[in-house]
Amino acid sequence: MGIGGGVGVVLEGVRASVAALDGLTFEDQNLEDAAMTAVGSGVDVLQRRYEIRLERLEVAARLEAQLAAVKAQDVADTVGFQEAMTPPDASDSDRTYVQMSVVEEIAGVLAISSAAAGALVEQSRRVCSLPLAFRALAAGAMSWQHARIIADETEGITPESAAALVAHFFDPAAPHPARGAAPGDLVPSRFRAKVRSWRERHHPESIQKRHAKGAADRRMEYTPDTDGMAWLSLYLPGDTACAIWNRTTATARGLQGPNEPRTLTQLRPDIAASLLLGAGHATAPGEAAGAAGAIGKVPAPRADVLVTVPVFSLLGLTDEPAMLDGFGPIPASMARKLVAGGADSFYRVLVDPRDGTPLEIGRKNYRLTGPIKHWIRLRDTKCTFPGCTNKTPDNDTDHLQAWEHGGTTDVSNLAQLCPKHHRLKHHSQWTPGPANKNEPPGWTSPTGRHYNPEQQDAEPTHWPHWLLALFSDAPERDTSTGATKQADEHAAAYCPCLEASLENLPQWEPDDEASIDPSDLSPDDPLWAELLATPFALSSQV
């Protein structure tokens, strides 16, 4: 986009949004006047005025995004004009001072710090260099927070990779485009998680190399804070940090009870501090270390974690990243280490090499209370309510259509809900939509607004080069993955080692008489009640 070339179009949208706000305000004023004179119409007037407030919030959010696009374009243009005025023969030092000067001037105009202005310049120039992202911002389809995430996550990658990342989320014609809720409909933290997962998978430098660099930088940081408090943080490999978090969370849940006044949030740091200081237990409020019940005497259930691993990656044939539940992409070597020999607390989830969908969790026959819940957990990844970021350990399994209203107990009628939104569902008119084996439900609000589900972006797994070479003479190719359709259909025939290797992988589900298939159970079997009552993180199975 050329200097100054995009603001005119954006301002047309700004004017339309302002006009929409004027129209809604005018309607609201008329309703207020009518309510003062018309008897018996108060309920309808109040309902419409309630809806008008929601509609104005939508328009105001769109207007904020459009104005952010104007600001970003003007910031980028300001720097561009200043660079154009700089003499071609200017020294590097002179150019540096010119850049510093324009940043300071932008800081002064906006009354922000120099550092904030510098960050705004970098973010604005990056967003404006990605037409699809800028158009979404200018149309009000996403907020400036979403645009900043794109700027952050495209830093350090090539322009081609950045363009591919943006196309994945904003171009429906892109190979394997993002599915489910649109980027602007996701809360920023969830959008960042999806962008980061795609970036890790498609980064030009392997995650294994980047992880090695990060691991070398591991450290602990201490920052004093106000009110006699302080922050202590650890920068660790993801699997280690995830295991620490899961252990403290599981132990905290074991400590909770009628005689424990501390919340889960308060218990976690108490347990971590006791373990780090060698006290051996979590102290009660006001008690010195060593004065109250030892952690060793508290049931500390294992917090089971799902590790989603592409088949070829688990076999060591590729280095494609795996996904660690509650964390995100991890190096293939880390995933292989976690599931080798049936590592405690980690469930291996294999994905189909053809399309990236889940292939299996343990054996074909399975115990009821574990793998069905794991499948829902794998499908949903978090509470399915719009905008909720509560992940699996705190979530319930709920019927989408109530049992008493004819709802069945299977994966297409079950979904994750955090305790708060579980209660809201049963005490309000928020209504979940249908789900299926691989897609969570969407939701409809009491005012009829529909919120599409957040879906994972499953992709075909990477195939080993030597396996692809077997099909190099095939006439029909899938250019998105490099794999042929014949490869998809006949991989087992050409690669018998694949099936044999999968058979030899460690299995976590016992093959005994207690293993049953849920399809064999009647709807009123008491095991279904046990399934729904068992929290995810407290499963005792391996």
Altogether, the residues listed in the chain come to a count of: 542
DSSP annotation of 516:
B
Task: Give the whole-angstrom CA distance, residue 399 versus residue 410.
Answer: 9
Task: Give the whole-angstrom CA distance, residue 300 versus residue 308.
Answer: 25
Q: pLDDT, tens digit, for every residue of 21-80? A: 999 999 999 888 877 765 555 558 888 899 999 999 999 999 999 999 999 999 999 999
Mean pLDDT score across all residues of the chain? 76
Task: Give the whole-angstrom CA distance, residue 141 versus residue 66.
Answer: 9
> Which of 198-202, 261-265, 291-295 is predicted least confidently?
291-295
- Strands, E, within 117-167: which ranges? none
Contact 351, 358 (CB under 8 A): yes
Find the radius of gyration of the CA atoms of the chain. 27
Q: Where are the domains of the chain?
A: 7-205, 224-297, 308-457+510-538
Check residues 181 and 465 and name the one with the higher pLDDT: 181
Residue 363 has pLDDT above 80, yes or no: no
What percentage of the chain carries pLDDT values higher than 70? 70
Check residues 319 and 49 and name the one with the higher pLDDT: 49
Phi, psi (degrees; rounded to nearest 5) at 436: -145, -170
Task: Give the whole-angstrom CA distance, residue 173 versus residue 157.
Answer: 22
User: What does pTM read for this prediction?
Assistant: 0.67
Phi, psi (degrees; rounded to nearest 5) at 44: -65, -40
Identity of residue 466 = W
Of the pLDDT bands very low, low, confident and very high (cuts 50, 70, 90), residue 109 is very high
> Which of 69-73, 171-175, 200-204 is predicted least confidently?
200-204
Token pair in block for residue 40: 């018996």
Q: Which three-class secondary structure string do you get for 187-250?
A: CHHHHHHHHHHHHHHHCCCCHHHHHHHHHHCCEEEEEECCCCCEEEEEECCHHHHHHHHHHHHH
Q: pLDDT, tens digit, for every residue of 445-499? A: 988 889 888 877 767 677 777 666 665 554 444 444 444 444 444 444 444 444 4
Q: What is the mean pLDDT of residues 180-187?
A: 90
Of the pLDDT bands very low, low, confident and very high (cuts 50, 70, 90), residue 316 is confident
Let me know the angle formed at the C-alpha of 295 by 289 and 301, rounded to the nearest 5 degrees.
150
Q: What is the mean pLDDT of residues 306-317?
A: 77
Contact 305, 344 (CB under 8 A): no
Residue 415 has pLDDT above 80, yes or no: yes
- pLDDT at site 3: 42
Q: Which residues pair with 477 in a beta bridge?
A: 484
Task: Give the whole-angstrom CA distance, residue 427 versus residue 379.
Answer: 26
Residue with tokens 């905008």: 387
Residue 64 half-sphere exposure, CB side, CA atoms within 13 Å?
13
Q: What is the mean pLDDT of residues 236-256?
A: 85
- pLDDT at site 352: 63
Identity of residue 257 = G
Nearest to 193 by CA among 454, 453, 533, 485: 454
Q: What is the mean pLDDT of residues 175-201?
A: 88
Task: Give the whole-angstrom CA distance, residue 80 versus residue 165.
Answer: 25
Of the pLDDT bands very low, low, confident and very high (cuts 50, 70, 90), residue 301 is very low
Q: What is the mean pLDDT of residues 322-345?
A: 72
CA 52 to chain CA centroid, nearest Å:
31
Token pair in block for residue 111: 């009354």
Token pair in block for residue 103: 């940043």
Q: What is the mean pLDDT of residues 391-419?
A: 77
| Total Cβ atoms within 10 A of residue 538 | 15
Nearest to 293 by CA among 251, 263, 264: 251
Q: Which residues pair with 441 in a beta bridge?
A: none
Taking the chain, what is the end-to-end CA distance rounded to the nearest angstrom? Answer: 55
Contacts of 24 (CB under 8 A, 6+ apart): 52, 55, 56, 59
Contacts of 375 (CB under 8 A, 6+ apart): 358, 361, 411
Contacts of 85 (CB under 8 A, 6+ apart): none
Scanning 38-113, the segments in alpha helix (DSSP H) are: 42-85, 92-110
Q: Is 261 exposed, middle or buried (0-12, 13-18, 19+ CB in 10 A)?
A: exposed
